[in-house]
């Protein structure tokens, strides 16, 4: 994996820190991030644009992993930030992120959320639907404010892993239909408004995509429209945002191309299309989430109970599960793992890793080869950096684990462990006294 190596004690080391030492200090379960790797990913995206001399914004999709420290890291790396809710926006502002580099997404932004974003003077609203066009106008007019917008369109493409599907009908809750006249109408509305400054178009075709075809087809379809809009409405898009979705390697079965290759091919296609139209190449914006932080994150658990179903399976349970990583239960997502304290020992059994939640579906990994293990051992699950902590929850009132950033052999706690008190923090009693 991107992160981790084995040290002289046979322990897994992340960013120069022994994971066994980390667990002694912070306990389990524990999310550990290799900060250098996140910086490397960010720089590689940015450099690819710079090398080809293309105006760009690389916006980190903070839904993948949003905390104050992560947002500050994104800021240090000169990234823009994609937020999708008042909570993510608030986190960005609380972290001191420059508002003009924040892009606000979402198919049902509330009045309060839009209000906060207008007040903070964020860089761009990615407008999803006609209702949003209307309320943005209504919120901006009395304040005599003008906001930058992109229109999110659905180009009739859905891409996942190796497949991309062309859907004639855009059956998606997101965006303006590109083929059915909705996008044209939205452009008209935006161009008429004094308060909406239409920068261009956005689309996002899916997540964990391993090939560039879907992106290139999306760009082509959008350019067909840009041509009409240029000719018929004298509107030239300054910005084309092609979303995120670049795939990463969770297990041996995954075979993504390097991030730079996605970007190079996308740039090639956009340049090509713009030239054909006699347009200036628009700024290209992208929104990687998973590919920015996914492989930089590892979750450490302590091994607990074991149950044998004779001749069928060994269940080995850890002290977390779907409360800190929902992806296996929700998407049948696959992960690889090792014993963090026996990282150089050959596997001698095959076990299935169970979570501790009261739900049969709470299984983290099926059929994992591991050395013999017991409660003295630690399990390290790789590639949990994206949509792990951000989708964590308190099912069964399990407190969420803390997050530690590692850089240059130094650990820094960036999210504290939730406590049992936190589990009742928002509860109000039915009776005056609760028994303690």
Residue 162: how many other CB atoms lie within 10 Å: 12
Q: Which of 327, 342, 356, 400 binds ligand LLP (CB under 6 A)?
A: 327
Q: Which of 124, 140, 203, 358 is catalytic?
A: 358
Residue 297 lies near ligand LLP (rule: CB under 6 A):
no
Residue 287 lies near ligand LLP (rule: CB under 6 A):
yes
Nearest one of 242, 140, 144, 227 to 187, comparing CA atoms: 227
Residue 253: partners with Cβ closer than 8 Å, 6 or more residues away: 334
User: Does 90 carry a binding-site annotation?
Assistant: no
Q: In angstroms, what is the minimal distance from the CB of 324 to ligand LLP?
A: 13
Q: In angstroms, what is the minimal distance from the CB of 134 to ligand LLP?
A: 21
The answer to whether 124 is a known catalytic residue is no
Tokens 């939730």 map to which residue?
418
Residue 322 lies near ligand LLP (rule: CB under 6 A):
no
Residues 207/290, Cβ–Cβ less than 8 Å: yes
User: Does 385 carry a binding-site annotation?
Assistant: no
Q: Which of 15, 177, 244, 256 binds ligand LLP (CB under 6 A)?
A: 244
Longest dimension (CA), the chain: 74
Residue 204 lies near ligand LLP (rule: CB under 6 A):
yes
User: Does 289 carry a binding-site annotation?
Assistant: yes
Residue 297: partners with Cβ closer than 8 Å, 6 or more residues away: 3, 31, 32, 33, 34, 65, 383, 384, 385, 386, 388, 389
Based on CB atoms, which residue is closest to ligand LLP, 80 or 193?
A: 80
Beta-bridge partners for 385: none
**What CA–CA distances, in Å, run from 43 to 17, 50, 66, 109, 371?**
23, 10, 19, 31, 37
Residue 109 lies near ligand LLP (rule: CB under 6 A):
no
Alpha-carbon distance of 353 to 371, in angstroms, equals 13
Q: Which of 105, 195, 221, 342 binds ligand LLP (CB under 6 A)?
A: 105
Based on CB atoms, which residue is closest to ligand LLP, 209 or 351?
A: 209
Residue 401: partners with Cβ closer than 8 Å, 6 or more residues away: 28, 29, 30, 31, 299, 320, 324, 389, 392, 417, 418
Which residues, 354 to 393, sit near ligand LLP by CB under 6 A?
Answer: 386-387
Which residues, 81 to 100, sit near ligand LLP by CB under 6 A?
Answer: 82
User: Does 245 carry a binding-site annotation?
Assistant: yes
Residue 64 lies near ligand LLP (rule: CB under 6 A):
yes
User: Does 290 carry a binding-site annotation?
Assistant: yes
Give residues in contact with ligand LLP (CB under 6 A): 61, 64, 82, 105, 204, 207, 243-246, 287-291, 327, 331, 386-387
- Known catalytic residues are 358
């Amino acid at each position: 994996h991107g992160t981790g190596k084995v040290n002289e004690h046979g322990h897994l080391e992340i960013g120069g820190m022994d994971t066994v030492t980390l667990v002694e200090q912070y306990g389990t379960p524990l999310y550990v991030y290799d900060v250098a790797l996140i910086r490397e990913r960010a720089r590689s995206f940015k450099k690819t644009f710079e090398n080809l001399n293309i105006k760009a914004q690389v916006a980190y999709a903070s839904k993948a992993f949003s905390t104050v420290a992560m947002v500050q890291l994104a800021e240090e790396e000169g990234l823009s930030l994609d937020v999708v809710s008042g909570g993510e926006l608030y986190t960005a502002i609380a972290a001191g992120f420059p508002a003009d580099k924040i892009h606000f997404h979402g198919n049902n932004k509330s009045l309060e959320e839009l209000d906060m974003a207008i007040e903070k003077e964020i860089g761009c609203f990615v407008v999803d639907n006609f209702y949003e066009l209307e309320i943005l106008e209504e919120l901006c007019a009395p304040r005599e404010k003008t906001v930058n917008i992109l229109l999110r369109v659905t180009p009739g493409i859905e891409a996942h892993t190796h497949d991309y599907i062309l859907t004639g009908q855009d059956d998606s809750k997101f965006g303006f239909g590109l083929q059915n006249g909705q996008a044209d109408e939205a452009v008209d509305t935006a161009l008429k408004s004094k308060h909406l400054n239409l920068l261009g178009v956005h689309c996002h075709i899916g997540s964990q995509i391993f090939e560039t075809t879907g992106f290139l087809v999306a760009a082509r379809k959008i350019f067909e429209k840009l041509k009409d809009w240029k000719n018929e409405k004298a509107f030239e898009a300054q910005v084309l945002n092609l979303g995120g979705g670049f795939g990463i390697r969770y297990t041996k079965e995954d075979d993504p191309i390097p991030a730079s290759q996605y970007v190079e091919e996308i740039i090639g296609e956009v340049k090509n299309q713009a030239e054909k139209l006699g347009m200036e190449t628009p700024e290209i914006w992208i929104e990687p989430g998973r590919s920015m932080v996914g492989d930089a994150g590892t979750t450490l658990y302590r091994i607990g109970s074991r149950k044998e179903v004779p001749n069928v399976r060994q269940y080995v349970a850890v002290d977390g599960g779907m409360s800190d990583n929902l992806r296996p239960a929700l998407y049948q997502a696959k992960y690889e793992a090792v014993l963090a304290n026996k990282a150089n020992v050959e596997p001698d059994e095959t076990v299935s890793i169970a979570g501790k939640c009261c739900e049969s579906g709470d299984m983290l990994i099926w059929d994992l080869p591991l050395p013999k293990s017991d409660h003295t051992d630690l399990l390290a699950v790789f590639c949990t950096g994206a949509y792990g902590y951000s989708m964590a929850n308190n099912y069964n009132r399990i407190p969420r684990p803390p997050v530690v950033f590692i850089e240059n052999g130094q650990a820094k706690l960036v999210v504290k462990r939730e406590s049992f008190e936190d589990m009742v923090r928002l509860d109000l009693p039915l009776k005056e006294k609760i028994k303690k």
